[in-house]
Amino acid sequence: MQPATSEELFRLIALSGQGDRKAFSALYEATSAKLFGLSLRILNRKDLAEEALQEAFVNIWHHAQNYRPDKANVMTWMTTIVRNKCFDMLRAMPHENQLNEEQSFDDWASDDLTPFERAAERSDTKALLGCMEHLAPLQRQAIALSYFHGMAHEQLSHHLAQPLGTIKTWLRRGLQSLKDCMGA
């Protein structure tokens, strides 16, 4: 994230916490497309993804005053809320709807994005992508399946047709090399 942008997000969340509706509206403008992209990725259905986004922003408004800048940056904090809401909905869904890794998201991608979303090609994200590329493909997939679909060891083992012990080792090694690559 560009420094100016993260300051701006912080200002908006601080004001939202004090009940400032205009700031909250600006916060939504600045972040909703990125967060909607995430909920689409997790839920694979536009209607459900919109419902999750809506629920998440209602939560964000109610909890904005609890935001702690020393713990997480604003985007991390909001991402956690959106992702948790998506996982709640995912758990309530019939199993066959849960996974569609082949789905193309380009169909939905809009060119009408705010400067914040353009700025989201942030350098630390690029670094993470670079680090992900260094992982073995299946390690990478295990991490992505877990992050975007909340898959536990057993589900990963089933989905990737690998023994449980192998999955655990992949995750452990994958995360370790990610950490080394990002620099502790």
Q: How far is the CB of 23 from other proteins (least distance, A)?
A: 7
Closer residue to other proteins (CB): 97 or 133? 133
Smallest distance, other proteins to C-beta of residue 138, A = 14
H-only helix segments in the chain: 3-17, 21-43, 46-63, 74-91, 115-119, 123-133, 137-149, 153-159, 164-182
80 or 97: CB nearest other proteins: 80
Q: How far is the CB of 122 from other proteins (least distance, A)?
A: 7
Q: Contact at 8 Å (CB) between 151 and 145?
A: yes
Give the distance from CA 1 to its chain's centroid: 15
| Torsion angle of C-alpha atoms 85, 87, 92, 94, degrees rounded to 10 | 140
* Shortest CB 59 distance to other proteins, Å: 11
Closer residue to other proteins (CB): 97 or 173 = 173
